[in-house]
Structure 1
Amino acid sequence: MAVSEISDGLWDEFHTVVNMTSRELKEWLSTEAAGETAEEVPDRAGKPTGRRVLDILGKRRTDLTTEDVATMERVVDIVRSQRGASLDPQAGGADWRHGLMDIGHDPLKPA
């Protein structure tokens, strides 16, 4: 069921903090999931939130569900809590960067 309305603020903020393209995110999730035991189904690669972000990036605003909106809010909260107001490129530990990239935000990528 599609959501009848999503705020401009959430829509814009989500697309600001998710600074990886759907292609970049898909490749990252596939790379991150590959290991000694590779994913059996490539389209299911990566963590659930990352897959939901990827799904949201492929949707029109009018096709978003209430679950999509909740995911968008959660992603914005996570990125803002770890990055603050400034999204200037910032180096950090690999685990920190990879955790953010799992949800579509590359802290080294210029805004």
Structure 2
Amino acid sequence: MSRGDDGQDTYREFTEAVNMKPRELSTWLETDESKQVGWHKGGRSGGGESVGHESGRKIIDLLRRKRADLSEGDYKHMRKVVGYVRRHMAQRPSGDVRDTKWRWSLMNWGHDPLK
């Protein structure tokens, strides 16, 4: 953790950025839309799971764990999630975003911009 941060700021920022409940996120990750978006290690043709989809599974785990049981690696992932959500929200397209890859990608990271 960064100097002067006992994880409290990271935890607060993470819980503010992630506005989907674990069950809601889990259900979302099963959809075709969820699997269509995101960057895949090794490129799109590399198949496999996208980075955001994998992150979504980690987020579900983090949300279900007790705060006292979180490791430094968990906090590192929380900071990654917060950074992603902030950057992505700054790129919001105009118009109705309901059925956009922009929204779907954010939802893979646990944030539904329509909430």
- Structure 2-normalised TM-score? 0.68
Structure 2: runs of 5 or more not aligned: 36-51
Structure 1: runs of 5 or more not aligned: 34-45, 85-89
TM superposition shift of 1:61: 0.6
TM superposition shift of 1:6: 4.1
Following TM superposition, the consecutive aligned residue runs of length 4 or more in structure 1 with deviations greater than 6 angstroms are none
Match of 1:106 in 2: 112
**1:82-111 Cα distance to aligned partner (Å, 9 max, x none):** 225xxxxx94361110000001000011xx
**Using the alignment, how far apart are the partners of 1:29 and 1:76 within structure 2?**
19
Taking only the aligned residue pairs, the percentage that are identical comes to 40
Answer whether contact 1:6 1:69 (CA < 8 A) is retained: no
In the TM superposition, 1:87-98 aligns within 5 A as: 91-92=96-97, 94-98=100-104
- Structure 1-normalised TM-score? 0.71
In the TM superposition, 1:16-95 aligns within 5 A as: 16-31=16-31, 32-33=34-35, 47-84=53-90, 91-92=96-97, 94-95=100-101
**Using the alignment, how far apart are the partners of 1:91 and 1:28 within structure 2?**
19
**Using the alignment, how far apart are the partners of 2:81 and 2:58 within structure 1?**
10
CA 1:74–1:91: 2 relative to 1, 3 Å: farther
Match of 1:36 in 2: none
**Using the alignment, how far apart are the partners of 2:7 and 2:72 within structure 1?**
12
**Using the alignment, how far apart are the partners of 2:96 and 2:8 within structure 1?**
30
Question: How many residues align structurally?
Answer: 90
**Using the alignment, how far apart are the partners of 1:14 and 1:91 within structure 2?**
26
Answer whether contact 1:17 1:79 (CA < 8 A) is retained: yes
SS at match of 1:47: helix
Answer whether contact 1:91 1:108 (CA < 8 A) is retained: no
**Using the alignment, how far apart are the partners of 1:77 and 1:91 within structure 2?**
24
